[in-house]
Amino acid sequence: MVATGMNDWQIFETRTELDDALAGHLAAALSADLTRQPRSSIALSGGSTPKGMFQRLSAADLEWPRVDITLVDERWVDYGHPDSNAELVRNCLLQGPAASARFLGLKTTTPDITAAVPAVTEALAKLQRPFTAVVLGMGGDGHTASWFPQASNLPELLDPNNAVRVAATDPVTAPHLRMTLTLAAVLDSHRIHLHITGDDKRTVLESAVAAGYPVASILTQTVTPVTIWWAP
Ligand SMILES: O=C(O)[C@H](O)[C@@H](O)[C@H](O)[C@H](O)COP(=O)(O)O
């Protein structure tokens, strides 16, 4: 693992223990920020990994009506589509106590994703910043968020000085056009949490910097502390 002083690993024996610990950490961080500000915000990734953690976080006892939940990225599919990250958040996180949180999805009714960028950007700009936390996953190709290796606009997505906070991108190697936060937007957070499981992903992460994977931009930056949460 090539790590800067900004990255720390939290390693667990089981995925259940990881889900409990990460959900507890996020709940505590959101609550702590609510002692200092009227609202707290968090940006979450989709995929399959976070499902258990979302379910545990949904039961947390905190002032959910003062929490804004958004997504790090979204597939440009309608709500109800099985690949929608908003559906995952609705079904697994916005339940029980967390149902009273405010959710801001990235999918709009505009068919053309590029035409939707200004409205999504404007909506996100209203959220409390810095985020309390950004939770990222990682694919086997070293992508995170929707920063895919063969995306034509990957350089813009990974430019930490890019004033653009939200962008449309074609993953090329994965289904659906994507709306995604840029690196600059993800860095505007008190902490970044990289939630991965399995030996294969650990190997990918440990080689990410040498291989130049997109996730390396999270590991090598020195703006925002990163915690890597891993279980076999
Ligand atoms: O919309 C998405 O798919 C996510 O934002 C993406 O970055 C995800 O975190 C990884 O692809 C890992 O997905 P799994 O958890 O399903 O392996």
Residue 63 CB coordination number (10 Å): 14
Q: How many domains does the structure of the chain reveal?
A: 1
CA 220 to chain CA mean position, Å: 17
Q: List strand residue ranges (DSSP E) for 87-203, in order.
A: 102-104, 133-136, 166-169, 178-181, 192-197
Type of residue at 157: L
Choose the residue to mutate in 88, 144, 204 for probing ligand 1, maximizing ligand atoms within 8 Å of C-beta. Answer: 144
The pTM for the full model equals: 0.97
Q: Sheet harboring 178-181: ordered strands across?
A: 73-75, 178-181, 166-169
- CA-71 nearest atom, ligand 1: 5
Give me ligand 1 centre to Cα 10, in Å. Answer: 19
The pLDDT value recorded for residue 5 is 55
- Reported as half-sphere exposure (CB side, CA atoms, 13 A), residue 59 has a value of 7
Q: In angstroms, what is the span from residue 77 Cα to ligand 1's centroid?
A: 15
Range of the domain at 141: 2-231
pLDDT score at 81? 96
* DSSP β-bridge partners for residue 179: 74, 168
Please state the atom number of ligand 1 nearest to the C-alpha of residue 50. 15
Distance 85 CA to ligand 1 centre (A): 9
Beta-ladder partners of 44: 71
Give 111 Cα–ligand 1 centroid separation in angstroms. Answer: 23
Neighbours of 5 (CB within 10 A): 7
pLDDT in tens, 10-58: 999 999 999 999 999 999 999 999 999 999 999 999 999 999 999 999 9
CA distances from 229 to 11, 24, 46, 48, 200 (A): 6, 13, 16, 15, 14
Instruction: Give me the pLDDT at residue 3, please.
Output: 44
Ligand 1 atom having least distance to the Cα of 49: 15
The structure tokens 């609705």 sit at 90
Query: To test the ligand 1 pocket, which listed residue (51, 73, 213) has its Cβ within 8 A of the most ligand atoms?
Result: 73
Q: 102 with 112: CB under 8 angstroms?
A: no
Pocket test for ligand 1, best of 45, 199, 215, 229 (most atoms within 8 A of CB): 45
Which residues does a 6 A CB cutoff place in the pocket of ligand 1?
Answer: 45-49, 72-73, 85, 137-139, 143-145
| CATH code: domain of residue 115 | 3.40.50.1360
Percent helix / strand / coil, the chain, rounded to 5: 35, 20, 45
Cα separation, 185 vs 145, whole angstroms: 11
pLDDT tens for 92-148 read: 999 999 999 999 999 999 999 999 999 999 999 999 999 999 999 999 999 999 999
Q: How confident is the model at residue 2 (pLDDT cuts 50, 70, 90)?
A: very low
Q: Which residues pair with 43 in a beta bridge?
A: 70, 134
